[in-house]
Amino acid sequence: MTITQEADFCIDLHCHTTASDGALPPKELVARAHARGVTHLAITDHDTIAGLEEASEAAREAGLTLIAGTELSCLWKSHTIHVVGLDFDVDDDRLKQALERQNTNRWSRARTITDKLSKLKIENLLEKATDKAGGDVPGRPHFARVLVEEGVVKDIAQAFKRYLGAGKAGDVKGFWPELPEVVRWITEAGGVAVLAHPRKYKLTATKLRALVADFRQAGGRSIEVSTSGQSSGDLGFLAELCRRENLLASQGSDFHFPGAPWCELGVIMKMPDGLEPVWHHFKQPAGVPAAV
Whole-number Å distance between alpha carbons of 21 and 9: 27
Q: Closest by alpha carbon to 16, among 5, 6, 30, 2?
A: 30
Domain boundaries, the chain: 8-99+178-281, 108-164
What's the pLDDT score for residue 136? 81
Which class does domain 8-99+178-281 fall in? alpha beta
pLDDT of the chain along its 292 residues, tens only? 433 345 568 999 999 998 888 889 999 999 999 999 999 999 999 999 999 999 999 999 999 999 999 999 999 999 999 999 999 999 999 999 999 999 999 899 999 999 999 989 898 999 999 998 878 888 888 999 999 999 999 999 899 999 998 889 998 888 899 999 999 999 999 999 999 999 999 899 999 999 999 999 999 999 999 998 888 999 999 999 999 999 999 999 999 878 776 788 888 888 898 999 999 999 854 333 333 3
Q: Structure pTM? A: 0.86
